[in-house]
Amino acid sequence: MTACAPADARARMLALVPAGASASEERRRFVTGFFRRGGFPTRKDEDWRFSGFGALGRIRFQLVDAGSGVVEPWPGETAGEAVLVGGVPAEPALSPPGVRVESFRADAAPEDLFDRDPDGTLRPALPVFLADARDRLHRPGLDLAACFRHPLEMLNAGLFTGGAAVRVAAGVDSGPVLLRSVRGEDAGGAPGMLHPRFLVTLEPRSRATVIEIHEGRHASRQGWTNPSTVVRIGSGARLDYLRLSTETGGGSHTGRTTFHLDRDARVKSTVLSLGRMRHRHDATAVFRGEGSSASLNGLFVGAGRERAEHHTLVVHAARHATSRQLYKAVLADEARTVFDGQVVVAPGAAGSDASQSNRNLLLSDGARAHTQPRLEIHADDVKCAHGAAIGRLDEDALFYLRSRGLGALDSRDLLVEGFAGEIVEGVADERARTLTAASLARVRGRGR
């Protein structure tokens, strides 16, 4: 590993802010603010105690080469599409009627990619909407805004070289829209880092299906991908969101998806972590309007020494909102998984209905799962529940299948497929289903 001191790491990161980018001075402030808040998170930070991404701060990164690499066409049917290679647009985006799909470089980022404070200072488009609702939601000892301060989000805002924005007009059904990020090649043999940035906006009463894909091979096991996606769902809008990570070659992936939901908005999110590397995904859903709802689902399939973490935060900041979480993992060899799920019910959010469930299937003695579902309730008249399970294949179920004529291996495979099927069956994209099936077959073979 090529290491550098913390002060050197800050200087090197500042030097990588894209030259000539609009608002470059503000983006340098994002990077500076990241280091002022402690820099790369370590195991000493409560929210990162299983992660240990502090080692990233000792690596001399370079940005992945822009636009390098070959991109094979995605076999699934899409109505609109934006493709990034090395974090910058590989080709002009395709937009269906009533939908604006715009890929951009850092020096031409859309205005709504950032929010502007009253003093004119830019900041990333994060769900800190509580600033305009502080009187309604604030209670002594409860700082809801603290939930949204994520260190790697600030670094992404300072270092992204390009991204894509999707806007669906009011009342329009977009059909499937593909947002695709391919790593490309590492520059000069140094470990490469990539910070793609996506923004999705659904105007009132619109409908959309968004498929976000992160793919490519890390040339170095020290490589790093750090994407960010912010989704704004207008009143009465509906979103079906699929996030698929298939990166290989080792390295680290730390991604975030944030949903803002207005009145009666709906989102169904599915995260498939299939890459052979160290992976962490943070999903945040903030109910800004009454009657909104979110279904957050995820699946990790891992073998060898692969690991994945799913961290969720659901904030019920409006009345009569509903959230459902279901995350699963299938592990073989010495694979590791972490689930850390938090539901926060704000004062006054009466009628909130929340549940979260995490289930982990271990196919070998060396596999490990850590789970921590949490509830933080500051309102009355709510319905909240959580649960977690870690275990092996059910011996009674295996015996039942074998007594019906199935062989031992076929019985085992059927139970594994059934366990993952609760997540996979809700995925409409055929290519994503095929890749998940291939990952399950690989893990099943290692777990026998």
At residue 250, the pLDDT reads: 83
At residue 99, the pLDDT reads: 95
At residue 84, the pLDDT reads: 94
> Does residue 335 lie in a domain region?
yes
pLDDT, mean of each 10-residue run, the chain (448 residues) = 60 83 76 84 84 82 76 86 92 91 83 59 47 39 55 87 93 95 78 92 96 91 92 96 92 92 97 91 92 97 93 93 97 95 92 96 95 92 94 89 87 92 92 94 81
pTM: 0.91
CB 318 within 8 A of CB 144: no
CB 229 within 8 A of CB 257: yes
CA 375 to chain centroid, in Å, comes to: 21
> Does residue 390 lie in a domain region?
yes
* Alpha helices (runs of H) in 100-243, residue ranges in sequence order: 134-137, 151-159
At residue 23, the pLDDT reads: 66
Tokens representing residue 229 in the block? 């996606």
Euclidean distance between CA atoms 191 and 3, whole angstroms: 11
> Does residue 1 lie in a domain region?
no
Burial profile 191-200: b = 16 or more Cβ within 10 angstroms, e = fewer: bbbbbbbbbb
Radius of gyration, CA atoms only, the chain:
21
At residue 127, the pLDDT reads: 39
What's the domain range around 31? 6-446
At residue 126, the pLDDT reads: 45
How many domains does one find in the chain? Answer: 1
At residue 112, the pLDDT reads: 63
* Full 3-state SS string of 116-149: ECCCCCEEECCCCHHHHCHHHHCECCECHHHHHC
> Does residue 323 lie in a domain region?
yes
Tokens representing residue 287 in the block? 């109910």
3-class SS shares of the chain: helix, strand, coil, % to 5: 25, 40, 35
